[in-house]
């Protein structure tokens, strides 16, 4: 289940990235560009968090409720892999 709110956030981020491209094309001040890039990274982190919360609330919860031990191990393994990647 994908949240419309998260989709809206991602579309806003897409617009911000286009704005950064335009700033570069217009040879805008580097610090202003870097501030916008930081804003995009922060917005992506928030969207990522929303998706992870949604995954835990639906996919993981459904798997736990199913009682299927193989599926449960798979979901736990996916989360461990994700957290390992986040540490890099």
Q: For residue 55, what pLDDT band results from cuts at 50, 70 and 90?
A: confident
Average pLDDT over the chain, rounded to an integer: 92
C-beta atoms surrounding 73 within 10 Å: 11
Does residue 1 carry a pLDDT above 80?
A: no
Q: What is the pLDDT of residue 2?
A: 64
Residue 9 neighbours by CB under 8 Å, 6+ apart: 43, 46, 47, 50
pTM here is: 0.79
Q: Which band of pLDDT confidence, cut at 50, 70 and 90, is reported for residue 46?
A: very high
pLDDT of residue 58: 86
- What is the share, in percent, of the chain residues with pLDDT greater than 70? 98
Q: Which domains does the chain have, with CATH numbers?
A: 4-87 (1.20.58.1000)
Question: What separation in angstroms does the CA of 60 have from each of 7, 17, 27, 42?
Answer: 21, 32, 46, 25
Q: From the DSSP assignment, how many helices (H) and strands (E) are in the chain?
A: 4, 0
């Amino acid at each position: 289940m994908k949240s419309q709110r998260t989709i809206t956030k991602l579309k806003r981020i897409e617009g911000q990235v286009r704005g950064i491209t335009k700033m570069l094309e217009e040879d805008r001040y580097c610090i202003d560009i870097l501030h916008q890039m930081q804003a995009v990274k922060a917005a992506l982190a928030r969207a990522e968090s929303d998706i992870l919360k949604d995954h835990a609330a639906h996919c993981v919860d459904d798997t736990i409720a199913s009682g299927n031990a193989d599926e449960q191990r798979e979901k736990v393994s996916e989360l461990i892999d994700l957290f390992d990647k986040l540490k890099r």
